[in-house]
Amino acid sequence: MACEVIEQVFMVLLQENQQHSKTGESEKVIQQILEAIRKYMPWSVSFFGNDRLIPLVEYLSKTLQIEDDHIYMTYPVESQLAQQVTASAQKLAAGNQQEIQHALKLLTEVIDVGVTHLIREPKKCLKFNFVVDKTLNGVINMTTHLGYKRLEKLGTQLDQQMASTYVDYFLKFMRQQA
């Protein structure tokens, strides 16, 4: 599931913007993240049992939302953060070059909220022993650090138009809760 989310969200963005020279380094970082997940996921899955899976399934089922006959995995984002992202996107769209790093920092915050709700919290439901838990925390921390550092670096490499394209892409995933 984690690999699918990364591929559907991040790889699609990079593939849509392959003409931009900075995507190669980003693709390498995403590949490193996917490799780490693929390496440790089978190992961690070997510890799953029905007693551990039931709370996980219950937790994850609460994140699912049906919209236009499609099923989406969702997570809540504080309204203040969502408003900041929207305001930053508007500044970028208006041509504000100085907003690039701030916009990408805000996106990193939104992504981290997602990592917490869709990876860190579900992992807690599995109640792994100390060694497994620490190992998985290390993998999560390493992979998120790689991704966040890459986003930070992109803030110094992208022009306003490309940054606006990236931010607009992520805005497509944000929905207002009714």
* pTM for the model: 0.82
Q: Is residue 84 included in any domain, yes or no? A: yes
- Which pair of tokens denotes residue 75? 């997570």
Structural domain contains residue 57 = yes
**Does position 21 have pLDDT exceeding 60, yes or no?**
no
Q: Which of 4-8, 14-18, 131-135, 172-176 has the lowest mean pLDDT?
A: 14-18
User: Which of 167, 147, 175 lies closest to 72 in space, CA to CA?
Assistant: 175
- As a whole number of angstroms, the distance between CA 17 and CA 31 comes to 17
Q: Is residue 103 part of a domain?
A: yes
- Structure-token match 């998985």, residue found: 136
pLDDT in tens, 91-134: 999 999 999 999 999 999 999 999 999 999 999 999 899 999 99
Give domain status of residue 176, yes or no: no
Is 178 part of a structural domain of the chain?
Answer: no
Let me know if residue 154 belongs to a domain. yes
Please indicate, yes or no, if residue 177 is contained in any of the structural domains: no
Distance CA 99, CA 3 (A): 30
Q: Whole domain around residue 44: which residue ranges?
A: 2-171
> Is 51:84 a contact under the CB 8 Å cutoff?
no
Average pLDDT over residues 132-155: 92
Cα angle: 141, vertex 146, 150; to 5 degrees: 145
Structurally, the chain folds into a number of domains equal to 1
Q: Please report whether residue 111 resides in a domain.
A: yes
Answer whether residue 24 shows pLDDT above 80.
no
How do residues 46-83 score in pLDDT, each as one tens digit?
877 788 889 999 999 999 988 889 888 889 999 999 99
